[in-house]
Structure 1
Amino acid sequence: MFTTEGIRVLLTAPQAPRMNAVMGRWVGSVRRELLDRVLFLNERHLRKVLAEYETHFNRHRPHRALKQASPLRALPDPVDTDIEVSRRDRLGGLLHEYAQFA
């Protein structure tokens, strides 16, 4: 099926179970946080929503392995003054992004 679409399939080695761990974790996150909650109208809609999720995942979503930072943005320095937090909804309120303002 994939070869008819011009997609090359790469097989993982059976002796290397962690070879595909990063993609497996990303697919699991997409599935839990997005695909199980949205009904897609067509391929264009799916691609647009996935692009929006990818931006959220890489720029705003906290990651445990990065000590709650995101892959493309470091955590801000702690502030001792009063902090105002603003929330931005993405994908119609399915995803939430928070920012601090001192």
Structure 2
Amino acid sequence: MLARPHLRDLGRRTAIVRSGACPSFWRNTPRSPWQNGYAERLIGSIRRECLDHVIVFSERHLRHLLLCYMKYYNGARTHLSLEKDAPISRAVELAGHILCRPILGGLHHQYVRI
């Protein structure tokens, strides 16, 4: 599914275009919950797992936090839909000492073998 500006009003409303022979358009109204489940789920995860636990001092600080969380979310965090793997897969290491790496100032941790 792709989100694109609606052809008639080019304002805040967007239309969801389904891929297929004859694309259909649905209007999403701004600030209305439950209209884009993927975006709502991502925003909820960011709020619950990151922003509810820190105090943001500036826009630059917020951008830094979101960038660190994005790297954690795609590289280390496990996802049930991926059979408890991260979107960026990594090899399984069976031997070695376990090292704990703090992420986002210790809010989350990644455990690796060295």
**TM-score > 0.5, shorter chain as reference:** yes
- How many angstroms apart in 1 are the aligned matches of 2:74 and 2:113? 18
Deviations 1:27-86 (A, max 9, x none): 111111111111100100000110000000000000000011111124x3473xx55321
Of 21, 42, 45, which residue of structure 2 is paired with 1:29? 45
Highest RCO, 1 vs 2 (Cα 8 Å, sep ≥ 6): 1
| Aligned counterpart, 1:65 | 81
- 1:87 partnered with 2:100: yes
Higher Cα Rg, which structure: 2
- Name the one with the larger helix percent: 1
Unaligned runs of 5+ in 1: 1-6
Corresponding letter in the other structure for 1:100? R
TM-score, scaled relative to structure 1? 0.72
- How many angstroms apart in 2 are the aligned matches of 1:14 and 1:8? 10
Unaligned runs of 5+ in 2: 1-10, 17-25, 29-33
- Which residues in structure 2 correspond to 1:1-102 (within 5 Å)? 10=14, 13=26, 20-74=36-90, 76-77=91-92, 79=94, 82-101=95-114
Provide the alpha-carbon RMSD of the alignment. 2.9
